Amino acid sequence: MKRMVVGITGATGSVYGLRLLELLRETGGWETHLVMSPAALLNIREELPEGKARLEALADVVHNVRNVGASIASGSFVCEGMAIAPCSMRTLGAVAHALSDNLITRAADVMLKERRRLVMITREAPLNLAHLRNMTACTEMGAVIFPPVPAFYARPTSLADVVDHTCMRVLDLFGLHAKSEKRWQGLSKEAASLVPGAGQMEGN
């Protein structure tokens, strides 16, 4: 059984955390550890009316964000990594500066010090210089900054499509490759024929 920590913070987009938990549950073989910040709970009320109960039901273990003595606060607790979905600019800043001021930022700190996968679904727009510098600092420490930006080539027709595509790409980063017809397969023959020099390209 592999383990993954899912942190949900007070940026808008708590549906990303929800969908990750659903996909991990559907995939099977993963023990999920959920931790939500107080600001996340405010957003969940706004964005996912039945969300908190649903989130807690999907996770194998739910941790109190103030409990910095929880299992996931220690590097000796084996797990594959952590996704912070969504990740607020406050949490981003706290991780960038190794503050470990709650269980989300402590668990993220553990991922970085143990060189484990940390994916931060950072949500803010536009970005100020502190946000950008904090993203750089986290990247330099080994985290993956993954703003939930839609991929229009996948031709999403609903918000669910947009969320699913991002979650699929996040799980790819943990070696969990879902089958999906939304993966890029290259240009259509018609579009490829418009590429300059296409006539001389192999296969055209």
Ligand X SMILES: Cc1cc2nc3c(=O)[nH]c(=O)nc-3n(C[C@H](O)[C@H](O)[C@H](O)COP(=O)(O)O)c2cc1C
Which residues are near ligand X by CB under 6 A? 9-12, 37, 39-40, 42-43, 46, 88-91, 123-124
Query: CB of 187: closest distance to ligand X in angstroms?
Result: 34
Query: Of 80 and 124, which has the nearer Cβ to ligand X?
Result: 124
Strand order in the sheet with 2-8: 61-63, 30-36, 2-8, 81-87, 117-122, 144-145
Query: CB of 177: closest distance to ligand X in angstroms?
Result: 28
Q: Is 16 annotated as a binding residue?
A: no
Q: Provide the phi-psi class of 64: left if phi over 0, else alpha when psi is between -120 and 50, else beta.
A: beta
Tokens representing residue 179 in the block: 């089958």
Q: Is 90 annotated as a binding residue?
A: yes
Query: CB of 53: closest distance to ligand X in angstroms?
Result: 19
Query: Of 30 and 65, which has the nearer Cβ to ligand X?
Result: 65
To 10 degrees, what angle do helices 38-47 and 14-27 make?
90
Residue nearest to ligand X (CB): 10
Q: Is 183 annotated as a binding residue?
A: no
Query: Of 9 and 32, which has the nearer Cβ to ligand X?
Result: 9
Q: Is 71 annotated as a binding residue?
A: no
3-class secondary structure, 2: strand
CB contact burial 89-122 (16+ within 10 A = b; e otherwise): bbbbbbbbeeebebbbbbbbbbbbebebbbbbbb
Query: CB of 125: closest distance to ligand X in angstroms?
Result: 8
Binding-site residue positions for dimethylallyl phosphate: 153, 169
